[in-house]
Amino acid sequence: MKSFVTVLASVFILNGCSSFISSSGPSRSQVNGVDDSDAIKGIQIVDVDNKVARQLLESRKLNLFSEVFDAKPRSQYLVGPGDVIEVLMWEAPPKALFIGESSTATLPPQMVTDKGEINIPFAGQVKVAHMTTHKIEQEIVKRLRGKANQPQVMVRIVSNNTANVTVVGDVTQSRQLPLTYRGERLLDALAAAGGVKQEVNKTTLQLTRGTQVQSLPLDTIIRDPRQNIPLMPGDIITSLYKSFSFTVLGAAGHNAEVNFEAQGITLAQALARSGGLSDNRADAEGVYIFRFEKPKAMDFGERKIYLTPEGRVPVVYKIDMKDPSTFFVAQSFPIEHGDVLYVANSSQAQLQKFLNLVQSVAISTLGIINLEKNLNAE
């Protein structure tokens, strides 16, 4: 019996630091050596400092609507094919063209043809596309001179079918909004569609104008009036709702998937939302961000880069929270959707686990020895 107890205790003690001690993940030394692993080729280990944080911020800088699109309101409405217009004509007495009691003629509303023309009696086919109503009036008057006595013309747009914007996506009601002389802006169109269905801080607006496509958090547009730009005919506004999140693992305050706003958060905010570092378990020098990064986001120098099938670079950003200057860097380091924030266990925590295991084995051994003595005494 004594030999069995001795062997059992020896096995537990010899294996205590490895298979019999649980861990919430890899240690700092194991993560730092992950770039030599064959599991994923070309993993980049990057020490986070102010330069790295600024470089990432610059690569993720949002192009503002006011910088990408024309922010000047339209000064005049231009008639286009598909619009329906109405023409009223007058002449002064003595009448030369209009016979009868009335000196006016109101033509039935007519749609501008695909060639951009309308038909005016005694004036023929009149080109009206890409012209203001005032220019159209002048053109018709010009054609009626010599046929009518001091002709005057008024053109009115009955139906605006070409100067529309389309609002789709996560809105109360998708619709087309006709543009007027008022000069509707981005938020006007959103309000006309009944507003967004989700939280403002988790909604992104995408504006498509011709071949240009740009997105901006709705919260940014509301806070910065310059981004509430005037709309142009043909604009497509898409409201996008996406739940952004990162995952916290290891020796943090709590392990969870944490949601964040569309405008993004910093590393400092991410650590706070994950409960910070666990005082009795965390290795403050072993805080990491695991991310599949865009190749152009970082300058990896001469290090060989391997891309995933999606064209991303596997990167592990290493943060030393024992360095006081890191707290300034953490306020600008951007967290991305899908990031994994991992806090390694400290060596002291592993030692404590080992000592606890030794203590439990010792107590069990003493219990067995006492049992053996009692059996021998009997």
Please give the pLDDT value at position 105: 81
Report residue 194's pLDDT band, with 50, 70 and 90 as the boundaries.
Answer: very high
Cα–Cα dist 371/140, whole Å: 117
Contacts of 115 (CB under 8 A, 6+ apart): 81, 129
Report residue 189's pLDDT band, with 50, 70 and 90 as the boundaries.
Answer: very high
Report residue 329's pLDDT band, with 50, 70 and 90 as the boundaries.
Answer: very high
Contact 305, 282 (CB under 8 A): no
Q: 142: part of which helix (H) or strand (E)?
A: helix 133-144
Report residue 301's pLDDT band, with 50, 70 and 90 as the boundaries.
Answer: confident
Cα–Cα dist 120/127, whole Å: 10
Please give the pLDDT value at position 260: 87
Backbone angles phi, psi at 198, to 5 degrees: -110, 180
Cα–Cα dist 14/257, whole Å: 37
Place of tokens 């009448």: 95
Residue 14 has pLDDT above 80, yes or no: no
- List, in sequence order, every residue forming a beta bridge with 214; answer none if it has no partner: 207
What are the pLDDT digits (tens) for 218-237?
999 999 999 999 999 899 99
At 23, list the tokens: 């861990």
**Which of 31-40, 128-137, 152-161, 340-349 is the least confident region?**
31-40
Report residue 363's pLDDT band, with 50, 70 and 90 as the boundaries.
Answer: low
Contacts of 71 (CB under 8 A, 6+ apart): 65, 226, 229, 230
Contact 140, 156 (CB under 8 A): no
Cα–Cα dist 199/368, whole Å: 63
The three-class DSSP label of residue 349 is: helix
What are the pLDDT digits (tens) for 249-280?
988 888 999 988 877 899 999 999 999 988 78
**What beta strand segments (E) does 190-348 contain?**
203-209, 212-217, 236-241, 244-250, 256-260, 282-293, 313-319, 340-345
CA 169 to chain centroid: 14
Cα–Cα dist 116/128, whole Å: 6
167 vs 35, higher pLDDT: 167
Cα–Cα dist 343/88, whole Å: 77
Is the pTM for the entire model greater than 0.75?
no
Long-range contacts of 292-298 (CB under 8 A, 24+ apart): 292/338, 293/44, 294/59, 296/59, 297/55, 297/56, 297/59, 297/60, 298/44, 298/46, 298/52, 298/55, 298/56, 298/59
Please give the pLDDT value at position 135: 93
DSSP 5-72: HHHHHHHHHHTTTTTTS--SS--HHHHHTGGG-SSSTTPEEEE--HHHHHHHHHHTPPPPHHHHS--S
Q: Structural domains in the chain?
A: 28-62+244-350 (3.10.560.10), 84-159 (3.30.1950.10), 163-241 (3.10.560.10)
CA distances from 124 to 85, 119, 127, 143, 195 (A): 16, 6, 10, 9, 46
The predicted model gives 200-216 an average pLDDT of 90
Contact 214, 239 (CB under 8 A): no
Residue 320 has pLDDT above 80, yes or no: yes
- List, in sequence order, every residue forming a beta bridge with 258; answer none if it has no partner: 246
As a whole-number percent, the residues of the chain with pLDDT over 90 amount to: 39
Please give the pLDDT value at position 32: 66
What are the pLDDT digits (tens) for 132-178?
899 999 999 999 888 888 889 999 988 888 888 999 999 999 999 98
Please give the pLDDT value at position 5: 41
Most confident of 33-42, 60-69, 192-201: 192-201
